[in-house]
């Protein structure tokens, strides 16, 4: 494991071995301090990178970037450089390393440019190491338009990291700390399903939509609570073993793996990394999961809700902030006395309360709408869980009371055979959207298919604003500590409504949240307008993270993605109903009708009356079912036509939400009713029972 770890990465260790000392030092200053990189240094790095890649068997290089589709993109160029004498040399320049020019015309831009304006640029992100994948040197890059606007997820994420770094350094300086590097960190827990390729190939809905548009709940689901942390299937274990090896080669610190709650569901969790590197690593992880699964006759499903009736999949975003390697959200043994920690904690509380709508919009998608609010994932209401001790500290600050810390508590398990251990200062609240878990915040609303850049962009920027407000308020105070405590108390009074330590799944919580004035944005079309709220535009523009034009483009791209995905689902739903389910029900109806005729003929011939009551009742149900499906598909076609005709992007997304999705649900309900009574051998697609419980 130690020998293969990072072998496919142009890491700091490789750089140190292959670059001249002065070049290595200059590059490290760029990576860790943001200093500009001159062309001579870039040429030296490119030459060393090329030689290393060739030794590893690479023949091509690519600028690996994240367009607004949310996935990754790459265009490969070989290292060959033909010569006049019909020979070739292998070359890779500093310019090719730093800048690329892909055709931007086919990527979504949300109106940033016309489709005929094709020029775009990729720009090297030196803080995320280059790596080799499938014989190609991959260089993580940003992607911008000809006019300099961000056309990707990475560019604004990096800007947000710069913003929070600047403001955190201001705050730390007030406490007497001159930090060299401040960065946010993320550990991304990835949930996913594995099913057999043979089943997948028979489900058009899974192939085109990533989720089943039809299917009744399995006879056995997750009610026995036996799959979570249960023994891993041998085939799945072999998949996990190979996946780990491939991830470790790429320097991705895959740490934890286990069965998740639902049958067929699993999870992989890495050790935390700097945020942009963590996002890159997560996108690579998702790609490798899909590729590796196929080698074991499996398909990896990363949709948020592949199957109705069992838990969907999330991607828990464990977020923290560190200065020169020290976690600024570590409360220490006496958090009530740790004033610096309380400042950063309160900054998060303030940021989440003030920008709760924006945070909700950052995780909004057609897929995640099926998951959020179910009794398996946080509701669409943003709140923060702090745990008993921190909540008590907040309450005492608000009430101007002196907090009495209780120190460490030992857990005595009642037998000398078992060890005693120190109890954590907070339990885990698995129902909270944003829970403080010891020294980080776990944002649990992110969907399993999502690019985490969006959520972390909002977290970084909103917390940067809260830190800037703090620094503005207390800089120059004659009594610094008194000014800090006064400021924190007022902030906690103003924003304590966002703190909720109870059960977010309860029926009472939405009512209480409404009384507190918290937002409940249940769907993507409801949430996305938060991107263009004036106060949110001001937030991003003032911190130089996104311009109004860039925010408008993202809003329109996300609306378009929502409408397109629901439209694809609707077309798939209608096609499957007409081409697969209606014929199947008719075929089975014919079999039942023939059975009735055969019984009646036998009765006539034998003189003995044979009952056909059950068959006739079944045939009546089947006949009505076919009619209901057919009528439902016709209504769905009309709903889709109406939605397609809407020009305004927001109104169109609303139409898909209010008209198309209910029409799809009606077709599903009619088809699923038939699945319960049609003979198993006649049903045209694998059932949930079959797909989720393979050997």
User: How much is the pLDDT for 271?
Assistant: 96
User: How much is the pLDDT for 407?
Assistant: 62
CA 99 to chain centre: 28
User: How much is the pLDDT for 113?
Assistant: 61
User: How much is the pLDDT for 402?
Assistant: 80
User: How much is the pLDDT for 347?
Assistant: 97
Label the pairing between strands 60-64 and 136-145.
Answer: parallel
- How many CA within 13 A on the CB side of residue 468? 16
Q: Which residues contact 599 (CB under 8 A, 6 or more apart)?
A: 610, 611, 612, 615
Mean per-residue pLDDT, 636-656: 98
Mean per-residue pLDDT, 663-670: 98
Q: Is the pLDDT of residue 575 over 80?
A: yes
The pair of three-digit structure tokens given for residue 650, joined into one six-digit string: 């927001």
User: How much is the pLDDT for 505?
Assistant: 87
CA distances from 195 to 225, 368, 489 (A): 20, 20, 52
Regarding predicted confidence, which is higher, 408 or 655? 655
CA distance 533 to 34: 31
Q: Is the pLDDT of residue 383 over 90?
A: yes
Q: Is the pLDDT of residue 375 over 60?
A: no
Which of the four pLDDT bands, split at 50, 70 and 90, describes residue 112? low
Q: Is the pLDDT of residue 128 over 90?
A: yes
Which of the four pLDDT bands, split at 50, 70 and 90, describes residue 223? confident
Q: Is the pLDDT of residue 378 over 90?
A: no
Is 363 in contact with 446 (CB distance < 8 Å)?
yes
CA distance 378 to 504: 7
Q: Which residue has the tokens 């600024």?
A: 328
Backbone angles phi, psi at 81, to 5 degrees: -135, 95
pTM score > 0.85 for this model?
A: yes
Label the pairing between strands 441-443 and 434-436.
Answer: antiparallel
The pair of three-digit structure tokens given for residue 468, joined into one six-digit string: 């800037």
Is 355 in contact with 501 (CB distance < 8 Å)?
no
The torsion region of residue 198 among left (phi > 0), alpha (psi -120 to 50) and beta comes to alpha
Mean per-residue pLDDT, 442-460: 97
User: How much is the pLDDT for 294?
Assistant: 96
CA distance 267 to 189: 7
Q: Where are the strands (E) in 25-181, listed by range?
A: 60-64, 76-78, 80-82, 88-90, 99-100, 120-124, 131-133, 136-145
pLDDT tens sequence across 389-431: 888 888 989 888 887 766 666 666 677 776 655 555 555 567 8
What's the mean pLDDT when you consider all of the chain? 92
pLDDT tens sequence across 47-105: 999 999 999 999 999 999 999 988 899 999 999 999 888 888 888 999 999 888 776 66
User: How much is the pLDDT for 530?
Assistant: 97
CA distance 256 to 96: 38
CA distance 468 to 171: 8
**What DSSP letter does each residue of 5-39 carry, written as one string?**
TTTTB--HHHHHHHS-HHHHHHHHHHHHH-----H
> Could you tell me which of 506, 379, 384 has the C-alpha nearest to residue 445?
379
Q: Is the pLDDT of residue 157 over 70?
A: yes
Give the least confident one: 175-189, 217-231, 332-346: 217-231
Regarding predicted confidence, which is higher, 420 or 186? 186
pLDDT tens sequence across 15-50: 999 999 999 999 988 888 777 778 888 999 999 999
CA distance 147 to 153: 17
Backbone angles phi, psi at 503, to 5 degrees: -90, 105
Is 246 in contact with 288 (CB distance < 8 Å)?
yes
> Could you tell me which of 464, 461, 427 has the C-alpha nearest to residue 442?
427
The pair of three-digit structure tokens given for residue 648, joined into one six-digit string: 């305004």
Mean per-residue pLDDT, 511-522: 95
CA distance 462 to 454: 12
The b/e string for 315-347 (b: 16+ C-beta within 10 A; e otherwise) is bbbbbbbbbeeebbbebeeebbebebbbbbbbb
| β-sheet bridge partners, residue 124 | 141
pLDDT tens sequence across 313-360: 999 999 999 999 999 999 988 888 899 999 999 999 999 999 999 999
Mean per-residue pLDDT, 120-146: 92
* The three-state (H, E, C) secondary structure of 642-671, written as one string: HHHHCCCHHHHHHHHHHHHHHHHHHHHHHH
């Amino acid at each position: 494991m130690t020998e293969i770890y990072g072998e496919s990465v142009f890491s700091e260790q490789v750089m140190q071995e292959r670059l001249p000392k002065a070049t290595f030092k200059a590059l490290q200053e760029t990576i860790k301090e943001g200093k500009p990189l001159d062309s001579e240094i870039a040429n030296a790095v490119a030459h060393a990178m090329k030689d290393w890649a060739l030794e590893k068997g690479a023949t091509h290089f690519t600028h690996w970037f994240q367009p607004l589709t949310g996935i990754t993109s790459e265009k490969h160029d070989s290292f060959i450089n033909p010569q006049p004498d019909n020979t070739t040399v292998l070359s890779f320049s500093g310019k090719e390393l730093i800048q690329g020019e892909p055709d931007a015309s086919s990527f979504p831009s949300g109106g940033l440019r016309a489709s005929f304006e094709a020029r775009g640029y990729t720009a090297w992100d030196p803080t995320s190491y280059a790596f080799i994948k499938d014989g190609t040197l991959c260089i993580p890059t940003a992607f911008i338009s000809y006019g300099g606007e961000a056309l990707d997820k990475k560019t604004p994420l990096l800007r947000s990291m710069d913003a929070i770094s600047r403001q955190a350094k201001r705050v730390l300086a007030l406490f007497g700390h001159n930090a060299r590097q401040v960065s946010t960190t993320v550990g991304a827990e990835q949930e996913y399903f594995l099913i057999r390729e043979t089943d997948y190939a028979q489900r058009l809905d899974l192939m085109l939509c990533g989720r089943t548009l039809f299917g009744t709940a399995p006879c056995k689901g997750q009610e026995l609570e036996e799959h979570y942390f249960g023994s891993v299937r041998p085939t799945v274990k072999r998949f996990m073993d190979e996946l780990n090896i491939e991830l470790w080669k790429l320097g991705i610190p895959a740490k934890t793996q286990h069965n998740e709650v639902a049958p067929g569901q699993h999870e992989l969790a890495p050790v935390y990394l700097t945020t942009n590197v963590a996002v890159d690593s997560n996108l690579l992880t998702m790609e490798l999961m899909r590729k590796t699964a196929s080698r074991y006759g499996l398909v990896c499903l990363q949709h948020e809700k592949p199957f109705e009736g069992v838990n969907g999949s999330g991607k828990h975003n464990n977020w923290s902030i560190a200065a020169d390697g020290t976690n600024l959200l570590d409360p220490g043994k006496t958090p009530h006395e740790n004033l610096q920690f309380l400042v950063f904690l309160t900054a998060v509380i303030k940021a989440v309360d003030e920008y709760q709508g924006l945070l909700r919009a950052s995780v909004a998608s057609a897929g995640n709408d099926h998951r959020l609010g179910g009794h398996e994932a946080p509701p669409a209401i943003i709140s923060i869980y702090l745990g008993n001790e921190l909540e008590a500290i907040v309450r005492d600050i608000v009430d101007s009371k002196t907090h009495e810390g209780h120190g460490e508590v030992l857990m005595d398990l009642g037998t000398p055979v078992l060890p005693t251990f120190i109890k954590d200062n907070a339990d885990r609240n698995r129902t909270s959207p944003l829970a403080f878990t010891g020294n980080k915040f776990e944002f649990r609303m992110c969907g399993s298919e999502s690019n985490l850049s969006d959520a972390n962009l909002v977290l970084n920027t909103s917390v940067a604003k809260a830190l800037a407000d703090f620094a503005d308020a207390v800089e120059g105070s004659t009594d610094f500590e008194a000014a800090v405590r006064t400021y924190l108390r007022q902030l906690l009074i103003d924003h304590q409504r966002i703190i909720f330590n109870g059960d977010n799944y309860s029926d009472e919580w939405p009512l209480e949240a409404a009384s507190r004035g918290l937002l409940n944005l249940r769907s993507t079309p409801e949430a996305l307008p938060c991107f263009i709220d004036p106060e949110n535009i001001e937030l991003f523009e003032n911190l130089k993270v996104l311009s109004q034009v860039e925010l408008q483009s993202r809003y329109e791209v996300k609306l378009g993605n929502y409408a397109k995905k629901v439209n694809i689902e609707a077309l798939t739903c209608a096609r499957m109903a007409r081409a697969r389910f209606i014929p199947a029900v008719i075929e089975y109806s014919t079999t039942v009708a023939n059975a009735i005729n055969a019984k009646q003929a036998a009765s006539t011939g034998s003189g003995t009356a044979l009952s056909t009551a059950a068959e006739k009742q079944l045939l009546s149900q089947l006949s009505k079912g076919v009619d209901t499906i057919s009528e439902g598909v016709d209504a769905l076609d009309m709903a889709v036509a109406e939605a397609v005709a809407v020009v305004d992007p927001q109104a169109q997304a609303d139409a898909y939400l209010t008209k198309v999705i209910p029409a799809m649900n009606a077709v599903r309900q009619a088809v699923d009713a038939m699945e319960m009574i049609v003979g198993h051998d006649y049903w045209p697609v694998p059932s949930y029972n079959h797909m989720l419980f393979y050997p």
